[in-house]
Amino acid sequence: MNFFPEKLRYKLDSRKEQQNFRILSKTDKDLFDFYSNDYLAFSNSESIFIEATRLCEKFQLKQNGATGSRLISGNHKLFDLTENFLAEFHQAESALVFNSGYDANLGFFSSVPQKGDFIFYDELIHASIRDGISLSNAKAYKFKHNNIEDLQAKISRQKPSENASIYIVTEAIFSMDGDQAPLLELANFSEKNNHFLIVDEAHSTGIFGENGSGLVNQFQLQEKVFARIHTFGKAMGCHGAVILGSQKLKSYLVNFARSFIYTTGLPPHTIATIYSAFQQLKIGEAEIGKLKANIQYFKKQLKIAKIDSYFIESESPIQCAIVSGNESVKKIATSFQQSGFLVKPILSPTVSKGSERLRFCLHSFNSEEEINSLINLLSESLKSI
């Protein structure tokens, strides 16, 4: 078949003209990693891999796949072990594992808010949440980023029916800016007004809170948050996600979340890897401590180099320098890669036009020498734009 729809061809050509055409590229593992979400180096942990394999053997689960959805044949023994552990670790009543963070957000937001309900979400919320909301029958409104006053104003304009529910949605750490949500204020506001707060902890898992249990745990807000989504593809170095909440919420999702019901379950070794990674996290204070030290060192060196004004304020591993324009940000990223540093540009429309950026992801394994070289190169590159 040699023909292609004209409308689709036009959209591809437009992407190329706007310098934001995406391609799949292979990664040179010999370069210095300042771009991956593997904050604690768990994805390459031999001990986690060995322990996961041992766990599968212990439970006599040697198949490569789950063989079906969890409601049919895919609910193997490791799910109960892992979900019970995750609920205890995060101080939640129950836990339900999904195949990915995307699946978790799609399943939750497409099924939980009902017709007549309202969803209010931070304007910088992740695309997976937006896609889930788009499948919901509830009315949805965005509020200004981390702005409680705007949220209150948006809610006050609505006239919900007596039995309507209001859901407020935020990320703990925002994936593109690396900044932190005002969780205390959001939780207190939600509790006072009987609203339901949902927090996506994708980029706080493994970093903040006791043993990396997240920001909700750090601020002791477990009883004030209706649902938490923790994903495993960032600091945990593996795959999948979990939704934490009440036992009733878990039962509801098992019955109504289509992205859970109609998909093959995760294979045993994946679940064993999740369990083993969290066991490592319990004793991984050194990795977390080194990561946090690197974050502070990076920020200190930015000030010394007098380029900190380009950066969004962040205490997370995500550090972003705003460099307006797709062409400019791609040019600098290319120079980094040519000098041995893996740094990816974030282009519009992934972020709004004019806020294109270089997104630096810091890790426990980055050395001070690597950070110094990175910042020196960045300082020189910024002079050329």
The CATH fold assigned to 285-382 is Aspartate Aminotransferase, domain 1 (3.90.1150)
Summarize the confidence of residues 242-270 as an average pLDDT: 98
Boundaries of CATH 3.40.640.10 in the chain?
A: 46-282
Q: C-alpha dihedral over 195, 196, 202, 207, to 10 degrees? A: 70
Summarize the confidence of residues 236-256 as an average pLDDT: 98
Give 23's pLDDT tier (boundaries 50, 70, 90).
confident
Cβ atoms of residues 375 and 301 within 8 Å? yes
Sheet order of strands, 357-361 included: 318-322, 357-361, 344-346
Boundaries of CATH 3.90.1150.10 in the chain?
A: 285-382
- For domain 46-282, the CATH architecture is 3-Layer(aba) Sandwich (3.40)
pLDDT at 117 over 80: yes
Phi, psi torsion values for 289, nearest 5 degrees:
-65, -40
Gap between the Cα atoms of 95 and 191, Å rounded: 22
Q: Which of these, 97, 19, 112, 27, lies nearest to 273 by C-alpha position?
A: 97
Per DSSP, the residues of 302-355 read: HHHTT-GGGBPP-SSSEEEEE--SHHHHHHHHHHHHHTTEE-EEE-TTTS-TT-
HSE, CB side, 13 Å, CA atoms: give it for residue 32. Answer: 21
Question: In the prediction, which pLDDT does 1 show?
Answer: 63
Cβ atoms of residues 166 and 191 within 8 Å? no
Cβ atoms of residues 176 and 213 within 8 Å? no
Cβ atoms of residues 278 and 52 within 8 Å? no
Cβ atoms of residues 385 and 312 within 8 Å? no
Question: In the prediction, which pLDDT does 324 show?
Answer: 86
Digit-coded pLDDT (tens) for 258-302 = 999 999 999 999 999 999 999 999 887 899 999 999 999 999 999
Digit-coded pLDDT (tens) for 55-107 = 999 999 989 999 999 999 999 999 999 999 999 999 999 999 999 999 999 99
Higher pLDDT, 143 or 23: 143
